């Protein structure tokens, strides 16, 4: 703390020599202030400001300056509260300055280009430091007070010897380019609420390896780390509310980034696309936009993350795993597209939507666990996940896109627990290696499993399935048996056409219609049981079932059948079992009556 000095105390520890004794004319005093012991002062009320010299004043060559807290002019004492614009500018001899705690303002370019000034302690009480106040000084150390509120543009710009600096928490306004071209700067610590645009300037800061944004920092300006090409790690605090455009642009050697703020929205405007050395990121912010950081190997998503945006981690081919927090609600389209190193994922219960192609071409993905809250699954979500072996879609699912599992060549087990979906071949794609499937969905649509002739051996249809659509299981030649739930109402035409390993079937009482050729060419089928509710059988329903020996029909009325039920020669070989009360009706029917053996149940 500087000791208060009155005007008769020397403002300098060096003697000022004058060229001549210019008079203080009224005009000069009005513009430049009163000259007292070689220093200009402008007064207002009870305060005084140190002012820049008049052109004819002696050139200031002092090495040490002690600024008094008061000055006496014409017998009146004034408190010195301000160091005015350019007051000590370009004094290349100045090595030491003492500022009293009465000063609240250090003006624009006050110590501009004082190249020999090695250290400065700004006392408590100073609230504002103006633009370029210490531009080009030879500072090795700076101490700023907690009272400081405002830092102008380029205050320490071009201080090429300054190794470190700490900005206090009281600063609420900061201009641009505060530390630009401070090429010796190795460390910068910020407690201030705001950080100005391009705080480190536009040119490279070759020695800056540590930047600390402490809790309390709320806003980082545009290009805030633009010049920080040698920064290796960075933490953005939980208090941070905004990061300006291009904030991380130029951080080409940044390898680790931690974002603790839950209010930020990460997006490509931050300039992360230039952070190609980034391998690790830890994020807590509400929404993650596109990062374009393709060398990531570690992603930690903290509680608070709700949305992973469009292509957020797309093309991150080195990413082997990722955790999803309980707070997550949306994984948007392409979010992990072509993350070819990703091996397993667990989707938490809170996720309601997974967008189109979210995990497409994740060629090493083998295990997927989906939580109980998922409602929407976009098209092609797992397209090209060529290592995926099994998956279960939850009961909560109400909407599903097309080609969800296309090119999933190793998928052998699929369970769909939702009762509200309609699935078909467009939805599932060609699941050529599927072995086992469990379904609860209301409708199994057209061609859902058409052509799985080489692998599919087990189909479990749970309660909730109401319709099996056209060609749903056509040519599933390894399918030996299938259960039909009580909820089933319709088996559409060609549904099990050419299922050559199917040996017996039992149609539940709730089924009213069996379509044309529904079980045609099931060449190993020997026994068929038809429930009491069947009303209509399509033509050729059992055509080509050459081993069929018995049909047990429990229908309460003779089902309508207007075309051949079986091949002509099967009418002679197979036995039709019907309710005794309907024996005569069956024998009299145009199609049913063709069976040689019709017996009572």
pLDDT band, very low/low/confident/very high, at 17 (cuts 50, 70, 90): very low
Task: Look at strands 458-461 and 219-220 and give their pairing.
Answer: unpaired
Predicted pLDDT at 451: 67
Q: What is the mean pLDDT of the chain?
A: 91
Question: What pLDDT digit, counting tens, does each position of 478-512 carry?
Answer: 998 899 999 999 999 999 999 999 999 999 999 99
Other C-beta atoms lying within 10 Å of the C-beta of residue 360 = 26
CATH number of 1-135: 3.80.10
Residue-level pLDDT at 31: 82
Strand 280-283 versus strand 76-83 pairing type: unpaired
454 token code pair:
């080489």
Give the per-residue pLDDT at 3: 33
Alpha-carbon gap, residue 594 to 601, rounded angstroms? 18
Question: What was the pLDDT predicted at 1?
Answer: 34
Length of the chain: 601
Domain ranges of the chain: 1-135
8 Å CB contact between 224 and 201: no
CB-based contacts of 450, cutoff 8 Å, min separation 6 = 425, 471, 472, 473, 474, 475
Residue range 359-403, pLDDT digits in tens: 999 999 999 999 999 999 999 999 999 999 999 999 999 999 999
Cα radius of gyration rounded to whole Å, the chain: 42
Q: Can you spell out the DSSP letters for 266-320?
A: E-GGG-GGG-TT--EEEE-SSEE-----TT--EEEE-TT--EE-TTTTTT-TT--
Q: Would strands 330-331 and 353-354 be described as parallel, antiparallel, or unpaired? A: parallel
pLDDT at 534: 97
pLDDT above 70: residue 106: yes
pLDDT for 22: 52
pLDDT category at 12 given cuts 50, 70, 90 is: very low
Torsion of CA 534, 539, 541, 545, to 10 degrees: 150
In the chain, % helix, strand, coil (3-state, to 5) comes to 5, 25, 70
- Binned at pLDDT 50, 70 and 90, residue 6 comes out as very low
The predicted pLDDT at position 351 comes to: 98
Residue 32: the pLDDT is 84
Phi, psi of 201, rounded to the nearest 5 degrees: 80, -165
The string of DSSP codes covering 439-503 is E--SEE-TTTTTT-TTT--EEEE-TT--EE-TTTTTT-TT--EE---TT--EE-TTTTTT-TT--
Q: What whole-number distance in Å separates Cα of residue 420 and Cα of residue 485?
A: 16
What's residue 2's pLDDT? 37
Mapping DSSP onto H, E and C, the string for 157-204 reads CCCCCCCEEEECCCCCEECCCCCCCCCCCCEEEECCCEECCCCCCCCC
Q: Which helix (H) or strand (E) holds 353?
A: strand 353-354
Q: Collapsing DSSP states into helix, strand and coil, what is residue 236?
A: strand
CA 243, CA 145: separation in Å to the nearest integer? 26
Pick from 17-21, 79-83, 269-273, 449-453: least confident: 17-21
Instruction: Answer yes or no: is pLDDT of 408 > 60.
Output: yes
**For 61-104, how does the pLDDT look when each residue is reduced to its tens digit (9 = 90+)?**
999 999 999 999 999 999 999 999 999 999 999 999 999 999 99
Each residue's pLDDT tens digit, 198-234: 999 998 899 999 999 999 999 999 999 988 999 999 9
For residue 11, pLDDT over 50 is answered with no
Distance CA 275, CA 93 (A): 43
* Closest of 601, 570, 568, 596 to residue 583, by C-alpha: 601
pLDDT in tens, 136-165: 999 999 999 999 999 999 999 999 999 999
Share of the chain above pLDDT 90, in %: 80
Would you state the pLDDT for residue 452? Answer: 59
Mean pLDDT, residues 278-283 taken together: 94
pLDDT surpassing 80 at residue 50: yes
């Amino acid at each position: 703390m500087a000791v208060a000095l009155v005007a008769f105390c020397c403002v300098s520890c060096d003697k000022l020599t004058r060229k001549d004794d210019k008079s203080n004319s009224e005009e000069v005093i009005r513009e430049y202030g009163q000259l007292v012991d070689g220093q200009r002062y402008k007064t207002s009320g009870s305060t005084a400001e140190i002012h820049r010299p008049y052109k004819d004043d002696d050139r200031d060559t002092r090495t040490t300056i002690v600024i008094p807290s008061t000055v006496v002019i014409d017998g009146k004492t004034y408190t010195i509260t301000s160091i005015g614009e350019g007051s000590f500018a370009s004094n290349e001899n100045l090595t030491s300055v003492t500022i009293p705690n009465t000063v609240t303002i250090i003006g624009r370019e006050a110590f501009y280009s004082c190249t020999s000034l090695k250290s400065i302690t700004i006392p408590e009480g100073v609230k504002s430091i103006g633009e370029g106040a210490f531009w080009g000084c030879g500072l090795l150390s700076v101490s700023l007070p907690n009272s400081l509120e405002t830092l102008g543009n380029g205050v320490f710009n071009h201080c090429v010897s300054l190794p470190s600096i700490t900005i206090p928490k009281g600063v609420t306004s900061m201009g641009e380019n505060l530390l630009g071209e401070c090429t010796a700067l190795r460390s910068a610590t910020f407690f201030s609420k705001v950080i100005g645009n391009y705080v480190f300037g536009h040119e490279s800061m070759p020695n800056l390896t540590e930047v600390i944004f402490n809790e309390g920092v709320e806003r980082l300006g545009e290009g805030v780390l633009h010049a920080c090409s040698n920064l290796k790690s960075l933490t953005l605090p939980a208090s941070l509310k905004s990061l300006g455009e291009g904030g991380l642009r130029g951080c080409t050697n940044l390898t680790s980034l931690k974002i603790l703020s839950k209010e930020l929205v990460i997006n490509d405007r931050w300039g992360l696309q230039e952070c190609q050395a980034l391998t690790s990121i830890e994020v807590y912010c509400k929404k993650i936009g596109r990062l374009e950081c393709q060398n990531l190997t570690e992603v930690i998503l903290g509680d608070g993350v709700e949305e992973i945006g469009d292509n957020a981690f797309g093309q991150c081919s080195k990413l082997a795993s990722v955790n999803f927090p309980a707070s997550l609600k949306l994984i948007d389209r392409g979010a992990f597209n072509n993350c070819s190193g990703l091996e397993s994922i667990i989707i938490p219960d809170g996720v309601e939507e997974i967008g189109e192609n979210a995990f497409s071409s994740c060629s090493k993905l083998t295990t997927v666990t989906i939580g109980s809250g998922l409602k929407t699954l976009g098209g092609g979500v797992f397209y090209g996940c060529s290592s995926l072996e099994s998956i279960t879609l939850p009961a909560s699912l109400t909407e599903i896109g097309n080609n969800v599992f296309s090119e999933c060549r190793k998928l052998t087990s699929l369970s769909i627990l939702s009762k509200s979906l309609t699935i078909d071949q467009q939805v599932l794609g060609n699941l050529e290696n599927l072995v086992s499937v469990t379904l609860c969905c209301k409708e199994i649509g057209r061609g859902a499993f058409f052509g799985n002739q080489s692998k599919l051996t087990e189909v479990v249809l749970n309660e909730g399935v109401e319709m099996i659509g056209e060609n749903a299981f056509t040519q599933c030649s390894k399918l030996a048996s299938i259960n039909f739930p009580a909820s089933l109402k319709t088996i559409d035409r060609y549904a099990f056409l050419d299922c050559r390993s199917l040996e017996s079937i039992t149609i539940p009482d709730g089924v009213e219609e069996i379509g044309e050729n529904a079980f045609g060419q099931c060449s190993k089928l020997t026994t068929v049981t038809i429930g009491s509710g069947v009303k209509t059988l399509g033509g050729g329903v059992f055509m080509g079932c050459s081993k069929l020996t018995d049909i047990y029909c429990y229908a309460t009325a003779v089902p309508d059948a207007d075309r051949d039920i079986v091949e002509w020669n099967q009418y002679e070989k197979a036995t039709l079992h019907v309710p005794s009360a309907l024996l005569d009706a069956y024998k009299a029917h145009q199609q049913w009556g063709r069976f040689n053996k019709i017996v009572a149940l």
